[in-house]
Amino acid sequence: MRIFGKGRHRPSASWRQATDRAFTLIGDGRYEDAGELLTRAADLEPWLSESWFNLALLHKFRHDWEQARAAGLRAVALLDREAGAPDWWNVGIAATALQDWPLARRAWQAYGLKVPGGATVATEPVGMELGSAAVRLSPEGEAEVVWGRRLDPARIEVLSIPLPSSGRRWGEVVLHDGVPHGERTTSTGHAYPVFDEIELWAPSPVPTWVVLLEAATEADRDALEQLAADAGFAAEDWSSSVRLLCRMCSESRMPSDEGEGVHLDPHDHSEPGHPGPLGHRTDGQLWVPERECGVAAPASLVRGLLDGWVADSPDSRDWRDLEEVC
């Protein structure tokens, strides 16, 4: 990532050297040292929008949103084009993090997006109809890609039930970056971008539980998921929805439903024959009755939900080992 000037004047060699070294340091996680160099570059070429764009990027990486907003505004003030500049996208992310909704609206509009209500409304930019997307939670740690609903260009509401290792819950809203890293495609051919989480924007009060189910058929499993959805919460069969992927696979264009049934997904790095997060594949069986399931529901409801599911078909359903995990 190197941002060099293309505008009115060619930046100095000193500016280029400081900027190049700064992004090398950023790649090594040395943000403080990089900040000193990018500040020096901005002092050398304060008229260059890229000087402030780079500083805004650094502050975004550090989650210093006040500084990111300030540097971003200086960058857009020096732009020589009216719409579509990535500088405005960074301003929009910083404004969203700070809940500065008038500025967020202005940024998305300046980037070229249609925002209901205009740039002067002081409320969240709802109704942008951006659809579904996937988000990579904890991208620098035990990354996990989950499905969600885009609330605006910088926020996704998590609709999957994340594994406890991510530290995230169903229903949380996460701030995400603007450049997708990978895609997930469905059996219908639709492709959905995978965005990287930046940070948690709004927590969820709903805990995550793990439970072992005995579900004789897929229809029995589906009935629990529907029962939870009807109650306003969620259940997810982790035994079939979870794949372990290497980083290269995760950041590529991946079908979201590979590995079901007896098909051996060459990108799936889990162990065959084991239900749960390490068992997307089976050992040749079309259905394994024992399922590891995630449930997102309040403590006051979760046992009643499971008991009600069993009561509807006691000969083909059972549950055990319920545990709150996040």
- pLDDT for 119 beyond 70: no
Q: Which two tokens stand for residue 308?
A: 């009600």
**pLDDT band at residue 143, thresholds of 50, 70 and 90?**
confident
Q: Which residue is listed with tokens 């058929």?
A: 217
pLDDT of residue 272: 40
Please check whether residue 53 is in contact with residue 42, taking contact to mean a CB–CB distance below 8 angstroms.
no
Q: Which domains does the chain have, with CATH numbers?
A: 13-111 (1.25.40.10), 132-202 (no CATH), 208-257+266-324 (3.30.70)
Please enumerate in sequence order all residues whose Cβ is within 8 A of that of 106, keeping only pairs 6 or more positions apart, or say none: 119
Q: For residue 95, what is the enclosing H or E element?
A: helix 86-97
**pLDDT band at residue 250, thresholds of 50, 70 and 90?**
very low
- pLDDT for 271 beyond 50: no
**Of 69, 63, 72, 62, which Cα lies nearest the Cα of 42?**
72
- Which of 101-105, 193-197, 280-284 has the weakest average pLDDT? 280-284
- pLDDT for 260 beyond 60: no
**Of 293, 292, 296, which Cα lies nearest the Cα of 326?**
296
pLDDT of residue 255: 58
- pLDDT for 309 beyond 50: yes
Fill in the DSSP letter of residue 154.
T
- pLDDT for 4 beyond 80: no
Q: Is 167 helix (H, G, I), strand (E, B) or coil?
A: coil
The two beta strands, 290-296 and 208-215, are: antiparallel
- pLDDT for 259 beyond 50: no
- pLDDT for 276 beyond 60: no
Which residue spans within the chain are E strands per DSSP?
132-137, 144-152, 155-158, 173-176, 183-185, 191-202, 208-215, 234-237, 253-255, 290-296, 317-324
**Of 8, 67, 77, which Cα lies nearest the Cα of 38?**
67
Please enumerate in sequence order all residues whose Cβ is within 8 A of that of 171, keeping only pairs 6 or more positions apart, or say none: 157, 158, 204, 206, 296
pLDDT of residue 8: 54
pLDDT of residue 201: 97
Mean pLDDT over 14-22 rounds to 95
pLDDT of residue 243: 55
Please enumerate in sequence order all residues whose Cβ is within 8 A of that of 72, keeping only pairs 6 or more positions apart, or say none: 52, 53, 56, 87, 90, 91, 94
**pLDDT band at residue 140, thresholds of 50, 70 and 90?**
confident
pLDDT of residue 83: 73
pLDDT tens for residues 23-80?
A: 999 999 999 999 999 999 999 999 999 999 999 999 999 999 999 999 999 999 999 8
pLDDT of residue 258: 42
Mean pLDDT over 103-113 rounds to 93
Q: Which two tokens stand for residue 218?
A: 């897929």
**pLDDT band at residue 9, thresholds of 50, 70 and 90?**
low
Q: Is 94 helix (H, G, I), strand (E, B) or coil?
A: helix
Mean pLDDT over 188-206 rounds to 91
pLDDT tens for residues 223-245?
A: 999 999 999 999 999 988 765 54
Helices 65-77 & 86-97, crossing angle to 10 degrees? 150
State the average pLDDT for the chain: 85
Mean pLDDT over 98-113 rounds to 93
pLDDT tens for residues 183-193?
A: 878 777 788 88
Mean pLDDT over 160-178 rounds to 94
**Of 130, 129, 109, which Cα lies nearest the Cα of 119?**
109
**End-to-end alpha carbon distance in the chain:** 36
